A and B are shown apart, each in its own frame.
Chain A
Amino acid sequence: MKFLRHFITFTGKELLELCRSGRLLLLVILFTAFGVMNPAIAKLTPWLLQTMSDSLEASGITVTEVTVTAMDSWVQFFKNMPMAMLVVLVMFGGIFTSEYSKGTLIPLLAKGLGRNAVAAAKTFTMLLVWSAGYLMSYGITFFYNDYYWDNSAVQNTAFAAFGLWLFGVLLICCITFFSSFASSAIQVLLGIGAVYIALTMLCMIGTVSEYLPSYLLQSGELLTGQAQPSDYSAAVCVTAVSSVVLLLASIPMTVKRRV
């Protein structure tokens, strides 16, 4: 099948680009760092507070014995991963538009390369990078937490992590969507920023907030048992459906856009 052949070929090209441009190395370092940082910060907290206790005491705060658990490390994980998400978005914001503006796609399109295959391959590459990186950070954090403390004290880590990952998937689909008409990486990122702001503002309306994808950003609450996975089912469904809709909507526009 032609689409599949083009998809596989172009994905290969994207992965080669990732390696040769040095981005892959950067991403490996980034996600490893984000994985190691969570248990490291938790582990270092008592020591940090101890060293600072003199100055804290001077300002009237007394430091008593601090005990950290796997919970502290997982809380860090859910604080840090949105930052990793941001780095991924910035890195891939121009994945489509740079090819359009440089004209590198033209010789290949003139060879019969289907535009849908291009969009599919690029989206797949982004999802692959985000998923693999995310899994790596998660795995590292999980391993250290288990080693130093006990993961069983924390509830629903996998589902909570899934929620945050899914939000990343939605934003990646936004890149594909905005790239089907935007002309630069800046425009794509501004579009995503606008989506994020809109979601945050909608969140202020109490009743709808639990149906919004941005609700998944609060999935850290699952850890303490304050919330249950079922509380998130609406947000998960909405996010998954919007991701698919964004991808489908980008198809006709990508085909018709001027390159």
Chain B
Amino acid sequence: MANVLEIAGLSKRFGSKQVLTGVTLSVPENCVFGFVGRNGAGKTTTMKSIIGLLKPDGGEISVCGEKVSYGGTKTNRFIGYLPDVPEFYGYMTAREYMSLCGKIAGMNSSDAESRTDELLELVGLSGEKHRIKGYSRGMKQRLGIAQALINRPKLLICDEPTSALDPVGRREILDILKDAGKQTSVFFSTHILTDVERICDRVALLEDGKAALSGDIDEIKKKRSDTAVEVLTEIPSHAALLAEQFPSGEVRDGCFVLPNASADDAEGLMQCILAKHISVIRFERKEPDLEDMFMEVISE
């Protein structure tokens, strides 16, 4: 699978603040890529560098095999970009704005028109006749996605598309992005981990100016998999009994926890519970979530 986006050793300094120290990551074709990091970690800086709006101090970025140059916009023909706070010309209607974007992207007018219909339908703005100045934030965000997709980009870059939205709006945007991911690669930044877990195939965590953790979500989970088994017994003292039987386990908050439990370990534990007639309220094999992993990485 060819990579749509490759970043190697990207670094950037603003004054005395070193924001990026060497970001290296790659986004393959047709994948939804989550770019996670705290506020001010350098997510927007990275994204602006990709579309040539910021001049990096070091490192290289290539989009579809072509090198990105600052100030130039050649590689942008492969890219659709949604800024963190998208601003459009308020005196235009959504349809007029889409037509402007189509012309700039060099589409012929009939293609641009049919694509506009399709995309405005996708983002739920097809019935909107008003000018953009009356749009809510969520509507602007949706128009932002539509305009970014108009020229069928190979890479859709969205800068925190869900941060400022209410739960309903967030869900809608995530669904749209997931849909878009079927035709193009989506590279989106966020600090909301549940968003990543819902729609992303791959993820990178930006920490200390580097991509601290990067790759396939399932693989990361497996690699880091602390698939603990947690047992909540009816009688609290039984938890201690289990801890005696399984020395690698411990009692945590009244529950017996067996860390790094394989399927065999879990079976053994279950047999022990049956043999000792321990009455159980909850027997759970805990899937690691991204949050735990990220907290772990950040604290390292």
Contacts and interface: CB of A to CB of B under 8 A. Distances in A.
Contact of B144 (A16, A107, A256): A107
Contact of B101 (A5, A20, A108, A259): A108
A20 B105 CA distance: 24
Contact of A115 (B71, B74, B82, B151): B71
A52 interface: no
Nearest to B50: A110
B51 interface: yes
A107 B147 contact: yes
| A interface bracket (residues with beta carbon within 8 Å of B) | 20 to 34
Interface residues of B, number: 37
A114 B76 CA distance: 10
A102 B87 CA distance: 7
Interface stretch (B88-96, B246-254, B263-271, B291-299): B88-96
B100 A112 contact: no
Contacts, number: 87
A9 B100 CA distance: 7
A5 B52 CA distance: 21
Contact of B83 (A6, A10, A103): A103
A104 interface: yes
Contacts of A107: 81-83, 86-88, 101, 144, 147-148
B61 interface: no
A63 interface: no
Nearest to B73: A112
Please give me the 10 A-B residue pairs with the lowest Cβ-Cβ distance, nearest first: A110-B81, A20-B91, A9-B103, A112-B76, A255-B71, A103-B87, A112-B73, A104-B87, A110-B51, A113-B104
Interface of B: 51-55, 70-74, 76-77, 79-83, 85-89, 91-92, 96, 100-101, 103-106, 144, 147-148, 150-151, 157
